[in-house]
Structure 1
């Protein structure tokens, strides 16, 4: 059975004080939401501790934005899966296009991070997607299929979420048309051995387009960037019709 998962990716925003303010405003706005919809907040590492305490007793789950493939070691600036699990993290974003573009992530390192997360009971949210140049060249399908082939080697698809994030739609205000997002997500699903993997759409998801996005039969949720920073906007997305 496919699960509906709405996740907020805060990226490099929010201090600990701002995190607590958000939680206080947000929790009350989703109390009546269908509990079958999972809600996750993926915060910067410095906010995870206070967020874990602030979410205690609520239905909102805690997510991180990256994880290293080693359990420990001389990897300055990285974070290990046991460290995340210890403070109550359940989900972790892996392979986001910003990590691939700015920090040298490759399909090989993405694969190692996916397996490390799963070893310690974390559910990875694997991000895949094409650039504007790749889409314009008609390479969308090949790019995504190749990403999946390399990223998912020896990965347990029973403990996995995938987010289709067209790079050209992230933070640009340009949203992939809902029907096209549905088509690509159907293509992704066809590559999987487990058809019940939750597949989200991400890329300029907003309160005014979430209803259309979630009406698509192949789309099981959303990975939300900028709109997840505001408690009212993110609550509207979680409370989609």
Structure 2
């Protein structure tokens, strides 16, 4: 059975940059801008997601329900268990109950600052899929180098997640070279397209029945997707989308490319 066609996808994580008040204002401003698209049908061909911090997620989900176009709410992390004595952790079952649709996992900052591994990321991805949400798993090499070296490092990360997630469930892989996160410029187009194509060609990815989409992240912003569209399905944005107008500009660029 052939995999369903891949829709383009774009989204933003606010990490821990926004106050609760700024998150509310940001979403209100974004929804206002989205109410006047350049073409009525343009934004129907792209999936948009927004990942605020955990504390504002519930209210953000309520706000996003009023959006003129669908916006998928996401969470920045979760625990691998649905319930239990895990003080301070966030249950994937509760995220799903609130209406969360996507959960970001395995970001380089989580791996570096909190010691998360491919194994713990895979456990969390399985929990996300088990609760009917889509895992958005960040992958990427630590140091700048050749495409082949980057692919070799990413393969291990991808294989761990694919083995843990049901083959018929949706999966999003966000390729974010660690050396490009927070940099002045994103990774080069040839590098990104080369790595993304190699990941898509992996046997473990090709063998999945569920849709597997690949995003690029790492200093991503407006004007980038046109050069990457032959390899990736969209962008995972950070600080360059913290201004609603810039996020909207990127959404339109990806939808129209």
Structure 2 counterpart of 1:108: 119
- Which shifted more, 224-233 or 191-200? 191-200
Structure 1 counterpart of 2:231: 218
RMSD: 1.7
Q: Matched residue pairs, number?
A: 238
* Pick aligned residue for 1:198 from 199, 213, 225: 213
Which segments of 5 or more consecutive residues in structure 2 lack a partner in the other structure? none
User: Structure 1 residue 26 and structure 2 residue 30: aligned?
Assistant: yes
Residue 97 of structure 1, CA deviation: 0.8
Map 1:13-162 → 2, pairs under 5 A: 13-31=17-35, 32=37, 33-58=42-67, 59-132=70-143, 135=145, 139-157=149-167, 158-162=169-173
Residue 136 of structure 1, CA deviation: 6.4
Which segments of 5 or more consecutive residues in structure 1 lack a partner in the other structure? none
Residue 206 of structure 1, CA deviation: 1.5
* Contact 2:147-2:195 at 8 Å conserved across structures: no
Residue 57 of structure 1, CA deviation: 3.0
Deviations 1:98-154 (A, max 9, x none): 111111100110110000001100101011100125x36962121111111223213
Residue 37 of structure 1, CA deviation: 0.7
TM-score under structure 1 normalisation? 0.93
Once residues 146 and 114 of structure 1 are traced to their aligned partners in structure 2, the CA distance between those partners, rounded to angstroms, is: 15
* Contact 1:30-1:239 at 8 Å conserved across structures: no
Structure 2 counterpart of 1:5: 9
Once residues 173 and 206 of structure 1 are traced to their aligned partners in structure 2, the CA distance between those partners, rounded to angstroms, is: 11
Once residues 144 and 233 of structure 1 are traced to their aligned partners in structure 2, the CA distance between those partners, rounded to angstroms, is: 29
